[in-house]
Amino acid sequence: MALEALRVNRLRSGLTMLGVIIGVAAVVVLVAIGTGAKNAIEQEIAGLGSNIILVVPGQLNFAAAPTQSRLDLTDVAYVRRVVGDESRVTVSVQSGETIRVGRDEAFVTVLGTDQFLPNIFDRPLRRGRYLTETDVDTRRRVVILGSEVAARLFGDVDPVGRQATISGVRFRVIGVYEKVGATFGVARDQEVHVPVTTAQRLIGVARINGIAVGASGPDEIEPLQRKVVDALVQRYPGEKFSAVTQTQLLGTIGTVLGMLTGVLAAIAGISLLVGGVGVSNIMLVSVRERTKEIGLRKALGARQRDILGQFLIEAVLLTTIGGVIGILLGVGGALLIAAVSPVPAAITWWSISLAFGVSVGVGVFFGVAPARRAGKLDPVVALRAE
């Protein structure tokens, strides 16, 4: 019966639904994009390795300029003693340099590190070997290439054992990493790794940029983090050191992206609300148009709640059908966006069920007023209406 009433005014029903359709589709798409972005970043962070603590000089603050480092290799040795296991501490010195092979050249991040890096970070090798203690101690000019660098400079040729020139200094390629993707926009496949001592001489510095410590398990992360920072502060009184963990990064980013998703969903929700007002409006028109029908139904024995129910069901049907169409469009839109653009989109069941629930709710909420008006009509007045 309610379906019949909606079919009679097909164009009107369609236009009324459109508000709900757009609102629901927007909620589904925006939540999918927000969730997709969050998942992607979380995956990136998890892809670094597990239980990593990054120690940097100064106060880590997203708003502050990076502090000039005063740490050097003796401090790394000191942290190794504090941690008690040297193989769980590694180091980094970074600089942007040009690497050249024959006539091909590329601008890459040269990262000076040591033999312990693979213990802490997840950097599987495709070919060759990692750095060794001897490489670091004797300042060997050896380099491990990131997958993109290798592809760019050597193409299909196996680079291991070949020569590459970094800032005019000749290096021997000893390994190539597997493709690992980017983290926070840092293209890790465009890095090249050299011994930290070689990097310091190449760049002309004695400092290092940061120390990474691998905890033995999730439970050790927090105490170890505190222990390392405290030890450094003790060594350099009055200075600040920060240690960030993946969990903290995940937490911060999760919060920010969660808020962003929430804001997007709220904006979409407003359009859903506007759609609901449209439903209310059209139901009021419908009640007025069908006053006579209401009068007749009442004369035939319809109770107030029968009439109320009839119009409420119509309103809910309107928004529910709109909601289902909106969900289909939203899911389709999110999949399309994920397919044709780099924006990841993850469709979540909660957003779909929420959108569905809200569209039903909008029908009830905005349908009640017109339905009540219909139910309360005086049958005599309603029957006389023209």
Q: Which residues bind another protein (CB under 8 A)?
A: 4, 8, 292-293, 295-306, 378-380, 383
The CB-of-380 to another protein minimum distance in angstroms stands at: 5
Specify the residue, 95 or 286, whose C-beta has the smaller distance to another protein. 286
Q: How far is CA 278 from CA 26, 72, 272, 273, in A?
A: 17, 67, 10, 9
Whole-angstrom distance, CA of residue 18 vs CA of residue 318: 10
Specify the residue, 266 or 299, whose C-beta has the smaller distance to another protein. 299
Specify the residue, 24 or 313, whose C-beta has the smaller distance to another protein. 313
Do residues 24 and 334 touch, judged by C-beta distance below 8 A?
Answer: no
The CB-of-378 to another protein minimum distance in angstroms stands at: 8
The CB-of-295 to another protein minimum distance in angstroms stands at: 8
The CB-of-297 to another protein minimum distance in angstroms stands at: 7
Specify the residue, 268 or 374, whose C-beta has the smaller distance to another protein. 374
Bridge partners of 57, per DSSP, are 241
Residue 189: other Cβ atoms inside 10 A: 19
**Sequential DSSP letters for 220-254:** HHHHHHHHHHHHHHHHSTT--EEEEEHHHHHHHHH
Please, what's the b/e burial string for 243-253 (b: 16 or more CB within 10 A of its CB; e: otherwise)?
bebbbbbeeeb
Specify the residue, 14 or 309, whose C-beta has the smaller distance to another protein. 309
Specify the residue, 80 or 297, whose C-beta has the smaller distance to another protein. 297
User: For strand 241-245 and strand 186-187, is the pairing parallel, antiparallel, or unpaired?
Assistant: unpaired
Whole-angstrom distance, CA of residue 174 vs CA of residue 136: 13
The CB-of-44 to another protein minimum distance in angstroms stands at: 59
The CB-of-301 to another protein minimum distance in angstroms stands at: 2
